[in-house]
């Protein structure tokens, strides 16, 4: 499984590499989704300062991919952003070469919309190029780009982290004033955006020096290059002018001019190649699925299991004899995402009617109620259902965990059954203790002999006197 940062971000696989760090696909265990995580490779103070600046940006715009959160773990730091699957404009140019002019206008409109939001926060990007403009995997539908990589971006007025007359950025996308050491400003970003548009429509990286010389030799806006429509060139020339004062001052102004130029472009025909923006990241590695890791949890078991069952936590499993044995981990299912329930114990089901039993050698005067069967010697005593004449036995519900369930708070009955003669009374039963049946009719004791004899004598005398009186009369 991948390394977990701060108990939250699990690195899955590398998907890119930047100037100061590698970009990984990571699983966010808190938000339960995949994100892109940029892991810092260096730990010097200069790089850390740039990292702090980049992760501090919070620009919420559909065409801007700014950092969303960050985490640190020992000597490593990372920040995360949304995961974008469609590659970059550099991939798109490499796959298709020159793009249709109308598609270029749609992409540039989105780029300028994102730059408008960035500049509104007072931030100068300073590294606009095709590789830093990512695309959602929209297939043959309308493209959706997002401006990313704010590693060298800075707010206007903030102190520079580089020495004077030292230029940062990507060679070939510098504005002329940057090469002269001027302070970063918004027109420099617009110049780089014009170069991006030119690379999209020509299918190759522009020669910035030759382009600047062409403007200087002409003394104004030169003729449109080959394969660049004239309406679109008029907008691009106002972005690519060597003099920053002759360019558009804001991205909003350039966007309005671009939309007007797009209306003058020819319609798309069936002969134009269909451009598809497909997934460039690829499938997830083994052990991960669309809903996250298939095995293991952060801070838990990383050996390929989702957790610990109740029986594993107590070290025992349920058996028919009620004794504990060593816990055996339940096997993983075919998907590897959860444990299967343990097999049911081999205990015969309860019969619908009580089975017959052999009569005892010395039966008592009264036969105990039928339906009471002594428990087998190898299993705990089982009590029959309250209504033996029911047509079917009550269903047995087995727990999904291997541990024995807690006793229920209520019982199906409260009175026990009398035991059979010669059998020990059952233990562990539920209800009141069993009472043996009476042996015969109940007889009350008579008076003691000392009282009974005189009473009998007196009674006999009375009888004799009565008989004598009758005879004498």
How does pLDDT run across 450-469, given as a tens digit for each residue? 778 888 888 888 898 888 88
Q: Phi/psi of residue 14, each to 5°?
A: -75, 140
User: 323-336 as b/e, with b when 16 or more CB fall inside 10 Å?
Assistant: eeeebeebebeeee
Instruction: State what percent of residues in the chain have pLDDT above 90.
Output: 40
Gap between the Cα atoms of 158 and 161, Å rounded:
9
Cβ–Cβ under 8 Å, residues 211 and 240: yes
For residue 196, the SS3 value is: helix
Model pLDDT, residue 70: 84
Structure letter (DSSP) for residue 140: T
Measuring CA to CA, which residue among 218, 209, 254 is closest to residue 236? 254
Asked if residue 293 lies in contact with residue 287, where contact means CB atoms within 8 angstroms, the answer is yes
Predicted confidence (pLDDT) at residue 237 exceeds the cutoff of 60: yes
E-strand spans in 194-291? 288-289
Confidence band of 201 (pLDDT split at 50, 70, 90): very high
pLDDT surpassing 50 at residue 332: no
Residue 254: other Cβ atoms inside 10 A: 26
pLDDT confidence of 404, banded at 50, 70, 90? Answer: very low
- For residue 268, the model assigns a pLDDT of 77
Q: What are phi and psi of 123, to 5 degrees?
A: -105, 135
Kindly report, residue by residue over 348-376, the tens digit of the pLDDT: 545 544 445 454 454 444 544 444 444 44
**Residue 430 pLDDT > 70:** no
pLDDT at 318: 40
Between 108 and 336, the more confident residue is: 108
Nearby residues of 232 by Cβ (< 8 Å), 6 or more positions away: 101, 104, 105, 197, 201, 258, 261, 262, 265
DSSP 141-186: S---EEE---TT-EETTSPPSS-TT---S-TTS--HHHHTTPPP-H
Pairing of strands 33-40, 76-82: antiparallel
> Any idea what DSSP says for residue 339?
B
Q: What is the dihedral of CA 318, 324, 326, 327, to 10 degrees?
A: 30
Q: Is the pLDDT of residue 400 over 50?
A: no
pLDDT at 46: 63
**Segment (H or E) for 14:** strand 9-17
Cβ–Cβ < 8 Å for 114, 59: no
70 against 368, higher pLDDT: 70
Please say if the pLDDT value at position 31 is more than 60. yes
Task: Say which residues have a Cβ less than 8 Å from residue 83's Cβ, sequence separation at least 6.
Answer: 25, 34, 35, 36, 281
Going from N- to C-terminal start, the domains of the chain cover 1-83, 86-291
pLDDT of residue 163: 53
Q: How far apart are CA 332 and CA 54, in angstroms?
A: 43
**401-410 contacts: CB < 8 A, separation 24 or more?**
401/309, 401/310, 401/311, 401/342, 402/309, 402/310, 402/311, 402/312, 402/317, 402/318, 402/327, 402/330, 402/342, 403/309, 403/310, 403/311, 403/313, 403/314, 403/316, 403/317, 403/318, 404/318
Burial 120-135 (b: 16+ CB within 10 A, else e): eeebbbbbbbbbbbbb
pLDDT of residue 327: 38
Q: Mapping DSSP to helix (H, G, I), strand (E, B) and coil, where does residue 456 land? A: helix
pLDDT value of residue 424? 55
| Closest listed residue to residue 160, CA positions, set 46, 18, 38, 40 | 46
Q: Look at residue 96 and tell me whether its pLDDT is greater than 50.
A: yes
Per-residue pLDDT band for 386 (boundaries 50, 70, 90) equals low
- What pLDDT sits at residue 74? 75
pLDDT digits (tens, 9 = 90+) for 305-329: 333 333 333 333 343 333 333 433 3
Q: What are phi and psi of 194, to 5 degrees?
A: -65, -40
**What pLDDT is recorded for position 187?**
95
- CB proximity list for 247: less than 8 A, separation 6 or greater: 187, 190, 191, 238, 239, 240, 241
pLDDT, one tens digit per residue, over 111-168 is: 999 999 999 999 999 999 999 999 999 999 999 999 998 888 888 877 665 555 556 7
Spatial separation of the C-alpha atoms in residues 84 and 16, rounded to whole Å: 12
Sequential DSSP letters for 19-77: SSEEEEEEEETTTTEEEEEEEE---SHHHHHHHHHHHT-----TTB----EEEEETTEE
Look at 89-103, 236-250, 276-290, 300-314 and tell me which has the smallest mean pLDDT: 300-314
Of 55-69, 86-100, 103-117, 178-192, which range is least confident?
Answer: 55-69
Per residue, what are the HEC states of 361-422? CCCCCCCCCCCCCCCCCCCCCCCCCCCCCCCCCCCCCCCCCCCCCCCCCCCCCCECCCCCCC
User: 29-33, 193-197, 232-236, 417-421 — which is least confidently predicted?
Assistant: 417-421
Query: Is the predicted pLDDT of residue 243 greater than 90, yes or no?
Result: yes
pLDDT band at 403 (very low <50, low <70, confident <90, very high): very low
pTM over 0.95: no
Q: What are phi and psi of 116, to 5 degrees?
A: -60, -45
CA distances from 128 to 18, 111, 398, 419 (A): 14, 10, 63, 91
- Ordered alpha helix ranges (H), 275-395: 310-314
Lowest mean pLDDT among 44-48, 89-93, 134-138, 154-158: 44-48
Residue with the larger pLDDT of the pair 266 and 103? 103
Question: Could you tell me whether strands 9-17 and 123-124 are parallel, antiparallel, or unpaired per DSSP bridges?
Answer: unpaired
In the CATH hierarchy, which top-level class contains the domain 86-291?
mainly alpha
Q: Tell me what pLDDT residue 137 has.
A: 95
Residue 269 pLDDT exceeds 70: yes
230 has pLDDT over 90:
yes
Q: Given CATH 3.30.200.20, say whether it is the number of domain 1-83.
A: yes
The answer, yes or no, to whether residue 280 has pLDDT greater than 70, is yes
Cα–Cα distance for residue pair 62/72, rounded to 1 Å: 27
**Between 420 and 159, residue with greater pLDDT:** 159
Q: What is the pLDDT of residue 299?
A: 44
- Residue 185 has a pLDDT of 92
């Amino acid at each position: 499984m991948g390394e977990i940062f701060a108990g939250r971000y699990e690195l899955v696989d590398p998907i890119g590499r930047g100037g100061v760090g590698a970009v990984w696909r990571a699983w966010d265990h808190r938000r339960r989704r995949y994100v892109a995580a940029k892991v810092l490779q260096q730990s010097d103070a200069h790089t850390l300062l740039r990292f702090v600046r980049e992760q501090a940006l919070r620009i919420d715009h559909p065409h801007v991919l700014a950092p969303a959160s960050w985490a640190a773990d020992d000597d490593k730091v990372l920040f995360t952003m949304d995961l974008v699957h469609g590659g970059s404009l550099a991939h798109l140019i490499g796959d298709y070469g020159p793009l249709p002019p109308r598609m270029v206008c749609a992409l540039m409109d989105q780029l300028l919309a994102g730059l408008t939001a960035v500049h509104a926060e007072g931030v100068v990007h300073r590294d606009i190029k095709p590789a830093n403009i990512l695309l959602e995997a929209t297939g043959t539908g309308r493209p959706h780009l997002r401006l990313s990589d704010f590693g060298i971006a800075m707010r206007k007025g903030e102190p520079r982290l580089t020495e004077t007359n030292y230029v940062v950025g990507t060679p070939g996308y510098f504005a002329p004033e940057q090469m002269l050491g001027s302070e970063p400003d918004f027109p420099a970003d617009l110049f780089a955006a014009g170069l991006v548009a030119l690379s999209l429509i020509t299918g190759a990286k522009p020669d910035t020096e030759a382009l600047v010389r062409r403007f200087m030799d002409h003394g104004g806006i030169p003729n449109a290059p080959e394969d660049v429509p004239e309406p679109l060139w008029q907008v691009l020339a106002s972005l690519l002018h060597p003099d920053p004062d002759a360019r558009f001052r804001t991205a909003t102004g350039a966007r309005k001019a671009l939309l007007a130029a797009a209306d003058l472009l020819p319609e798309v025909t069936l002969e134009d190649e269909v451009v598809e923006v497909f997934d460039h990241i690829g499938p997830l590695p083994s052990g991960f699925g669309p809903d996250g890791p298939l095995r293991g949890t952060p801070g838990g078991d990383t050996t390929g299991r989702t957790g610990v069952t109740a029986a594993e936590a107590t070290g025992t499993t349920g058996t028919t004899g009620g004794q504990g044995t060593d816990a055996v981990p339940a096997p993983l299912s075919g998907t590897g995402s959860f444990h299967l329930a343990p097999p049911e114990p081999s205990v015969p089901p309860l019969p619908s009617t009580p089975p017959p039993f052999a009569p005892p050698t010395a039966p008592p005067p009264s036969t105990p109620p039928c339906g009471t069967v002594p428990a087998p010697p190898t299993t705990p005593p089982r009590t029959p259902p309250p209504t033996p004449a029911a047509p079917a036995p009550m269903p047995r519900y087995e727990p999904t965990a291997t541990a024995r369930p807690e006793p229920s708070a209520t019982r199906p009955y409260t009175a026990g059954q009398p035991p059979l003669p010669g059998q020990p009374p059952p233990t562990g039963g539920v209800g009141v203790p069993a009472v043996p049946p009476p042996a015969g009719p109940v007889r009350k004791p008579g008076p003691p002999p000392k009282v009974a004899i005189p009473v009998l004598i007196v009674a006999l005398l009375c009888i004799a006197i009565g008989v004598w009186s009758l005879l004498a009369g």
